[in-house]
């Protein structure tokens, strides 16, 4: 018998910072390498060195490109990582875009904090730089989806299509013939742009996300709600601001608004897409057509219908544009990005509508707005919230509780142990109860930095 050690370095008791350290007799690897977002008590942990010997790490396997699954990679290089970073081609393309974009934001925020003196740190430093992000990208190596990759004599893995965002997968890792399944983020069975997720058929040890482990998405008429908000914006000559995740959500919103116009449900209102990262992600859709549902003709028609903003100068021109308009801008939880500039100017205007789409983590500005905050802190100052705040939860790219249960129901065996990750405490506990009640499985909710030993 051999011992495999797994340490939970993130997404344990929270939804962010996914990273799992797997120590085997033959090699050491990590599944995902995300940074913490949201609550300050979590964000400060990003600055702590990991409690592992990073120089002995051979591989990092990525489920998908989101920041909370990849954003710690450049810091890992600073700590001495020299191995390979493996993922599907679209995942590595998305990760490249996200790391470069977040590096620029880190640099800009540090520069701004130093210039305006609102940081407690002197000087304020970027979490990582663009150069460090680019050095990280040089370690990328793509794998073919659904094909086994041999890492050592008794360790191999493969990726399986998982919906959620373009390139996203779950990972099946075989160690001495025992199968460890890491769900990554599970997508929806019905999605405007993506096919339904595939499902694992065997798992000796299952590590599954629980973002919506305690609830099902509401049955909303997304088309009707979007049309009503757009027409209301036109009527009151205001602005509809949609903070959006740059990957998938932004493209999905573009598609849905374009379809509303095509169906004659909204007039030809100006639509501005202001997310340098989102614009780059659009090119990934063009490069990897087999990973989504859009035809090339539909893709180009959709892009032609919106105004893609390419410079900060155009951001200000858009804010000054007096016409009623729709602005889709990053980031989705209002934690950073161009949307902050729009909100700084327009959050205190009563004719502004802010539409939040999808999950809002604890400690984010998006969560504060959702809970009825009367003021919002932006760039070190507080601004009164006079805008109307709306929420469309059914646009989430995550499977809900029913979707997660459906995902595990394809298993042909009873897992020896199930580990619930990537969820807030209430979601984790509710989903644990559900799995125990419906399947009588052995379920464990790991704590941050907990290490478990498994015999294989």
Alpha carbons 348 and 336: distance in angstroms, whole number: 18
End-to-end CA distance of the chain: 6
Query: Which of these three, 395, 415, 434, is where a domain ends?
Result: 395
* Confidence at residue 390, expressed as pLDDT on a 0 to 100 scale: 96
Residues 332 and 378 grouped into a single domain: yes
Q: How far apart are CA 319 and CA 346, in angstroms?
A: 8
Are 350 and 404 in a shared domain? no
CATH code at position 120: 3.60.15.10
264 and 162 assigned to the same domain: no
| Tokens found for residue 148 | 């086994």
The enclosing domain of 319 has a CATH number of 3.40.50.10890
335 with 252: CB under 8 angstroms?
no
Q: Which two tokens stand for residue 340?
A: 């902050």
Among candidates 249, 261, 330, 272, which has minimal Cα distance to 301? 261
Q: Indicate whether 61 and 122 sit together in one domain.
A: yes
Same domain? For 206 and 354 the reply is no
Tell me what pLDDT residue 282 has.
Answer: 84
Buried b (16+ CB within 10 A) or exposed e, 381-413: eebebebbbbbbbbbbbbbbbebbbbbbeebee
Sheet containing 59-61: give its strands across: 140-143, 84-88, 59-61, 28-33, 19-23, 3-8, 451-455
Phi, psi of 393 (to 5 degrees): -80, -25
What pLDDT was estimated at residue 381? 94
Question: Domain containing 369: what range?
Answer: 222-395
What pLDDT is stored for residue 113 in this prediction? 80
In terms of domains, do 412 and 443 share one?
Answer: yes
Which of the listed residues 354, 376, 395 is the one where a domain comes to its end? 395
CA proximity to 253, closest of 296, 284, 222: 222
- Whether 22 contacts 3, CB under 8 Å: no
Helix (H) or strand (E) holding 3: strand 3-8
Cβ of 187: how many Cβ atoms within 10 Å?
A: 27
H helix or E strand, kind and range, residue 215? none
For residue 49, the model assigns a pLDDT of: 92
State the DSSP H helix or E strand holding residue 370, giving kind and residue range, or none if neither: helix 365-370
Whether 193 and 237 map to the same domain: the answer is no
What's residue 263's pLDDT? 96
DSSP annotation of 64 reads: -
- My answer on whether 171 and 291 are in the same domain is no
Q: Across the chain, which distance is largest between two alpha carbons, in Å? A: 70
Residues 268 and 206 occupy one common structural domain:
no
Nearest to 427, CA basis, from 355, 361, 335: 361
Q: 23, 49 in Cβ contact below 8 A?
A: no
pLDDT the model gives residue 366: 96
Measure the CA–CA gap between 316 and 147, rounded to whole angstroms: 47
Sign of CA dihedral 84, 90, 96, 102: negative
Task: Give the Cα separation of 195 and 253 in Å (integer).
Answer: 17
DSSP secondary structure of 409-445: TT-SS--SEEEEESS-HHHHHHHHHHHHHHH---EE-
Tokens representing residue 165 in the block = 């965002």
Degrees to nearest 5, angle at CA 38 with 9 and 434: 65
Do residues 198 and 235 both lie within one domain? Answer: no
Name the DSSP letter for residue 291.
G
Whether residues 166 and 271 fall in one domain:
no
The order of strands in the sheet holding 417-421 is 149-152, 155-161, 169-175, 178-182, 205-209, 417-421, 443-444
Contacting residues for 284 by C-beta, under 8 A, at least 6 apart: 90, 93, 94, 97, 166, 167
- Among the candidates 349, 372, 395, a domain finishes at 395
Q: How many domains does the chain have?
A: 2
Q: What is the DSSP letter of 55?
A: G
Q: Tell me: do 65 and 36 sit in the same domain.
A: yes
**Per-residue pLDDT for the chain (456 aa), expressed as one digit of tens each?**
899 999 999 999 999 999 999 999 999 999 999 999 888 899 999 999 999 999 999 999 999 999 999 999 999 999 999 999 999 999 999 999 999 988 988 898 888 888 887 766 778 889 999 999 999 999 999 999 999 999 999 999 999 999 999 999 999 999 999 999 999 999 999 998 999 999 999 999 999 999 999 999 988 899 999 999 999 999 999 999 999 987 878 889 999 999 999 999 999 999 999 987 777 888 899 999 999 999 989 988 999 999 989 888 999 999 999 999 999 998 889 988 889 999 999 999 999 999 999 788 888 999 999 999 999 999 889 999 999 999 998 888 899 999 999 999 999 999 999 999 999 999 999 999 999 999 999 999 999 999 999 989
């Amino acid at each position: 018998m051999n011992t495999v050690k797994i340490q939970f370095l993130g997404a344990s008791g929270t939804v962010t910072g996914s990273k799992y350290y797997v120590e085997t007799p033959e090699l050491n690897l990590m599944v995902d390498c995300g940074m913490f977002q949201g609550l300050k008590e979590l964000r400060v942990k990003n600055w702590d060195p990991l409690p592992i010997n990073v120089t002995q790490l051979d591989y990092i396997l990525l489920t998908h490109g989101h920041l909370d699954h990849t954003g710690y990679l450049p810091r890992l290089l600073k700590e001495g990582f020299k191995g390979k970073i493996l993922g599907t081609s679209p995942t590595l393309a998305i990760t490249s875009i996200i790391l470069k974009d977040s590096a620029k934001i880190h640099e800009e925020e540090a520069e701004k904090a130093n210039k305006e003196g609102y940081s407690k740190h002197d000087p304020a430093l970027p979490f990582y730089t663009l150069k460090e992000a680019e050095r990280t990208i040089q370690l990328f190596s793509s794998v073919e989806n659904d094909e086994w990759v041999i890492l050592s004599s008794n360790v191999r893995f493969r990726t399986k299509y998982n919906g959620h965002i373009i390139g996203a997968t779950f990972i099946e890792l075989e160690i001495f013939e025992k199968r460890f399944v890491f769900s990554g983020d599970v997508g929806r069975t019905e999605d405007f742009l993506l096919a339904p997720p595939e499902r694992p058929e065997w798992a000796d040890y299952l590590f599954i996300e629980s973002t919506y482990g305690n609830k099902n998405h509401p049955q909303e008429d997304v088309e009707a709600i979007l049309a009503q908000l757009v027409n209301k914006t036109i009527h009151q000559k205001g602005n509809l601001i949609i903070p959006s995740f740059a990957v998938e959500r932004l493209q999905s919103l573009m598609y849905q608004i374009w379809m509303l116009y095509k169906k004659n449900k909204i007039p030809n209102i100006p639509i501005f897409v202001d997310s340098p990262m989102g614009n780059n992600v659009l090119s990934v859709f063009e490069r990897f057509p087999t990973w989504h549902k859009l035809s090339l003709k539909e893709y180009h028609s959709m892009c032609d219908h919106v105004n893609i903003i390419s410079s900060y100068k155009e951001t200000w021109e858009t804010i000054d544009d007096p016409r009623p308009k729709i602005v889709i801008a990053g980031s989705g939880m209002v934690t950073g990005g161009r949307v902050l500039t729009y909100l700084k100017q327009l959050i205190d205007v009563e004719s502004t509508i802010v539409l939040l789409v999808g999950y809002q983590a604890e400690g984010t500005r998006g969560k504060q707005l959702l809970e009825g905050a009367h003021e919002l802190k932006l760039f070190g100052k507080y601004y009164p919230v006079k805008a109307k705040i709306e929420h469309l939860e059914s646009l989430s790219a995550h499977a809900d509780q029913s979707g997660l249960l459906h995902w595990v129901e394809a298993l042909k065996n009873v897992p020896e142990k199930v580990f619930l990750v990537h969820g807030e405490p209430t979601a984790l506990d509710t989903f644990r109860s559900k799995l125990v009640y419906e399947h009588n499985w052995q379920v464990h909710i790991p704590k941050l930095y907990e290490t478990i030993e498994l015999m294989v």
